[in-house]
């Protein structure tokens, strides 16, 4: 996919090169753990991260092409993709998934604006600080809770908070995918018609000037 880079998950070797062996400590790790510091990710990577959590460690390589077929409908090549199991301790995975469920379902959760009627899901909002302007709004997740069918990542640049900007977009996308249509029942009041005032024609003596 054009313009999709590899991201950055800092290793000990990377930190040594950047700061020197004595220039950083374990105190840097909590910052990386909450998605800050030197960590760099792409939307595709975050969607895949959500999918692995939903699949309890099962990794399926994302792809946009399944096979190459000739004009005569003869299959030339069927592609293969990587599938493997990532080691995630069951207890750790359960804690993460339950925390993500509460983001949406619990009262006061930051992902409340992404709720979809009849679908329990697990997600996480995020607000990425941006030194060059307004913050970026993030949202990742998967649904349904017990038998995931979709994983999603939403990134809205320079849009503020993930819970108020990216979450509603994710909710609508998941709703449309799982139900095949939007089922929101919240009524939005129709806008009050504005009174249109037709301007009066200018006096004849000003017509030439206005032209």
- Beta-carbon count within 10 A of 159 CB: 17
Quick one: pLDDT at residue 121?
61
Place of tokens 């800050």: 36
Q: 111: closest CA among 95, 99, 94? A: 99
Quick one: pLDDT at residue 202?
45
Q: Which residues contact 11 (CB under 8 A, 6 or more apart)?
A: none
Quick one: pLDDT at residue 120?
62
Cα 15 from Cα 11, distance rounded (Å):
6
Cα 64 from Cα 68, distance rounded (Å):
12
Quick one: pLDDT at residue 6?
86
- Say if residue 38 is preceded by a cis peptide, omega within 30 of 0: no
In the chain, the N- to C-terminal Cα span, in Å, equals: 54
Q: 113: closest CA among 139, 136, 149, 148? A: 139
**Contact status, residue 32 vs residue 50, Cβ threshold 8 Å:** no
Q: What share of the chain is helix, strand, coil (3-state, %, to 5)?
A: 35, 20, 50
Low-confidence residues in the chain, pLDDT < 70: 1, 120-123, 184-211
Quick one: pLDDT at residue 190?
44
């Amino acid at each position: 996919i054009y313009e999709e880079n590899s991201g950055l998950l800092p290793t000990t070797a990377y930190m040594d090169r950047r700061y020197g062996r004595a220039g950083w400590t374990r105190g840097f790790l909590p910052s990386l753990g909450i998605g800050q510091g030197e960590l760099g990710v792409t939307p595709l990577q975050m969607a895949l991260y959500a999918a692995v959590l939903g699949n309890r460690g099962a990794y399926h390589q994302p792809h946009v092409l399944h096979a190459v077929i000739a004009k005569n409908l003869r299959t030339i090549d069927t592609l293969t993709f990587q599938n493997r199991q990532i080691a995630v301790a069951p207890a750790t995975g359960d804690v993460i998934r339950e925390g993500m469920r509460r983001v949406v379902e619990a009262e006061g959760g930051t992902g409340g604006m992404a709720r979809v009627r009849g679908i329990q899901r697990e997600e996480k909002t995020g607000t990425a600080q941006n030194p060059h302007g307004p913050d970026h709004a993030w949202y990742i997740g998967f649904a349904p809770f017990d038998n995931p069918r979709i994983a999603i990542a939403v990134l809205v640049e320079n849009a503020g908070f993930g819970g108020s900007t990216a979450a509603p977009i994710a909710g609508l996308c998941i709703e449309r995918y799982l139900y095949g249509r939007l089922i929101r029942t919240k009524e939005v009041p129709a806008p009050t018609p504005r009174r249109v005032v037709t301007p009066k024609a200018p006096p004849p003596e000003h017509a030439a000037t206005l032209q």
